């Protein structure tokens, strides 16, 4: 039996007549042993966007669709988006708040159903217009978060982002009434893409999921981005699932989504394929239910629809040939679990209002993202990639963790060292691919 046969398209999907949401679909697929794979695809031309959704839906894989929003819409520059459309200038995503609602509904008609849910991905710390537009078009799944869509992307004050996201959680819940179940994915496990030790990524993703639940969302996904060491990444994905069981209310549906490496991607097609395949194996072995893929074109340009489909099918085929563990939980507390739990408990000590507690934690440096230049980030933490490939703290500032005491732990990061760390995984996969 071939990998393509094993990775049949959407075999675990609920019937199109079933009123299932994004989270329910992923849960049904996971129960059937299928890893859901998803592209990050967005085009301003509705015809091209529809083609992308149709090709994603028909891929030899279990898939969900994506509408990735353009950068003008992300920052609220709707006049600029309208001007670009009027001039026929292509944008780097779908301007959902600028295209008429009926145009978006037409784009989705006959493609969106319970067997093929679609998620809106954007990157905005001011997402109200996006949430209103997606709900009007009949969609109810998106992603982001008060921290993860604030600190990496601009200068919006964290307090403002927290307020914006509180309102938008409540707005999404109100605009997608029962039997629909609105879904929010935390981007917290992907902060800055790389060089952030997993304990903090896991904690941020969980805390954002708890924030969503506190503001009325009953279906969430928690993210983690593949980093530099498969064993550490496995610890992180399992820790995220375990902590979700421990801290999220039982009434909240949840799953874990893994991102193929978000940092500098391999330059060769073979190297990129090897890294994508590694992320698919990681997702299966660690127990993630959904994988967001990258393509062989990532290091050079925006990928085409065909390149996205090829990546989806490669990931699905690899997952289908990967043996699933008999259990996905860690028999004992892992290093990542202990560190993530320390962060979560430290934040919760500031009070039950998670929005206020997150602001306090960043103001006091209890949460501190390394190499993040946002004014509300303390900027005293530093990390490094150890000889064993694991990401660790070299400086912890006021955070409730200790810097690594082993080799290289307190060595200052030079500019050359930073560049080597940023390019290390890509270089290794390119070299391994060339030798294969």
Distances (CA, A) of 43 to 57, 102, 107, 179, 323: 16, 17, 12, 30, 36
Output the pLDDT for position 4: 40
Q: Which pLDDT band, with edges at 50, 70 and 90, does 414 fall under?
A: low
Yes or no: say if 209 and 254 are a contact pair by the CB < 8 Å rule: yes
Do the strands 391-395 and 382-385 form a parallel or antiparallel pair, or are they unpaired?
Answer: antiparallel
pLDDT tens digits, residue range 278-319? 999 999 999 999 999 988 776 667 889 999 999 999 999 999
Q: Using CA atoms, how far apart are residues 195 and 223, in angstroms rounded to an integer?
A: 16
Question: Which domains does the chain show, CATH number per domain?
Answer: 3-320 (3.20.20.240)
Q: Which of 11-15, 302-306, 356-360, 431-435 has maximum average pLDDT?
A: 356-360
SS percent in the chain: helix, strand, coil, step 5: 45, 10, 45
- Integer Cα distance of 225 and 212 in angstroms: 20
Q: Do residues 114 and 15 lie in contact, with contact meaning Cβ atoms separated by under 8 Å?
A: yes
Question: How much is the pTM?
Answer: 0.91
Average pLDDT, the chain: 88
DSSP character string of 27-52: HHHHHTT--EEE-----SSHHHHHHH
Q: Please state the separation of Cα 64 from the chain's center in Å.
A: 14
Closest CA to 419 of 194, 108, 145: 194
Separation between Cα atoms, residue 238 and residue 275, nearest integer Å: 20
**Residues with Cβ within 8 Å of residue 430, at least 6 apart in sequence:** 266, 267, 268, 270, 271
Over pLDDT 70: what percentage of the chain? 85
pLDDT digits (tens, 9 = 90+) for 192-245: 767 899 999 999 999 999 999 999 999 999 999 999 899 999 999 999 999 999
- Residue 35 tokens read as 């890893």
């Amino acid at each position: 039996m071939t990998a393509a046969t094993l990775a049949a398209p959407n075999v675990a999907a609920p019937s199109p007549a079933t009123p299932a949401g994004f989270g329910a679909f992923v849960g049904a697929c996971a129960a059937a042993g299928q890893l859901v794979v998803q592209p990050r695809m967005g085009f301003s031309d509705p015809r091209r966007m529809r083609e992308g959704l149709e090709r994603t839906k028909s891929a030899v894989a279990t898939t969900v669709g994506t509408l990735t929003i353009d950068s003008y819409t992300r920052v609220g520059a709707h006049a600029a988006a309208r001007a670009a459309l009027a001039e026929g200038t292509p944008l780097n995503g779908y301007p959902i708040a600028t295209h008429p609602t009926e145009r978006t509904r037409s784009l989705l008609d006959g493609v969106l159903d319970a067997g093929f849910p679609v998620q809106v991905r954007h990157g905005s710390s001011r997402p109200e217009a996006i949430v209103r537009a997606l709900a009007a078009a009949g969609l109810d799944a998106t992603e982001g978060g008060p921290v993860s869509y604030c600190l990496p992307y601009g200068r919006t004050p964290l307090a403002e982002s927290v307020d914006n996201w509180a309102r938008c959680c409540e707005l999404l819940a109100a605009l997608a009434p029962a039997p629909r179940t609105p879904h929010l994915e935390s981007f917290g496990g992907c902060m800055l893409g790389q060089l952030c030790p997993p304990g903090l990524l896991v904690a941020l993703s969980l805390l954002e999921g708890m924030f969503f639940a506190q503001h009325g969302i009953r279906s969430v996904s928690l993210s983690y981005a593949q980093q530099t060491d498969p064993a550490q990444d496995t610890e992180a994905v399992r820790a995220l699932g375990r902590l979700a069981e421990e801290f999220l209310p039982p009434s909240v549906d949840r799953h874990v989504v893994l991102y193929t490496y978000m940092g500098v991607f391999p330059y060769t097609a073979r190297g990129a394929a090897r890294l994508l395949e590694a992320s698919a194996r990681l997702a299966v072995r660690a127990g993630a239910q959904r994988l967001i893929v990258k393509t062989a074109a990532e290091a050079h340009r925006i990928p085409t629809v065909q390149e996205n489909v090829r990546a989806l099918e490669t990931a699905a085929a690899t997952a289908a040939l990967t043996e699933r563990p008999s259990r996905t939980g860690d028999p004992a507390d892992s290093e990542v679990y202990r560190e993530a739990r320390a962060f979560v408990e430290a934040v919760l000590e500031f009070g039950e209002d998670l929005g206020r507690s997150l602001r306090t934690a960043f103001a006091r440096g209890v949460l501190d993202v390394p190499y993040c230049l946002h004014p509300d980030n303390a900027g005293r933490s530093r990390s490094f990639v150890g000889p064993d490939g694991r990401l660790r703290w070299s400086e912890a500032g006021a955070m409730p963790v200790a810097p690594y005491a082993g080799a290289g732990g307190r060595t200052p990061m030079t500019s050359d060292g930073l560049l080597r760390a940023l390019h290390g995984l890509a270089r290794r996969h390119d070299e391994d691919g060339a030798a294969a």
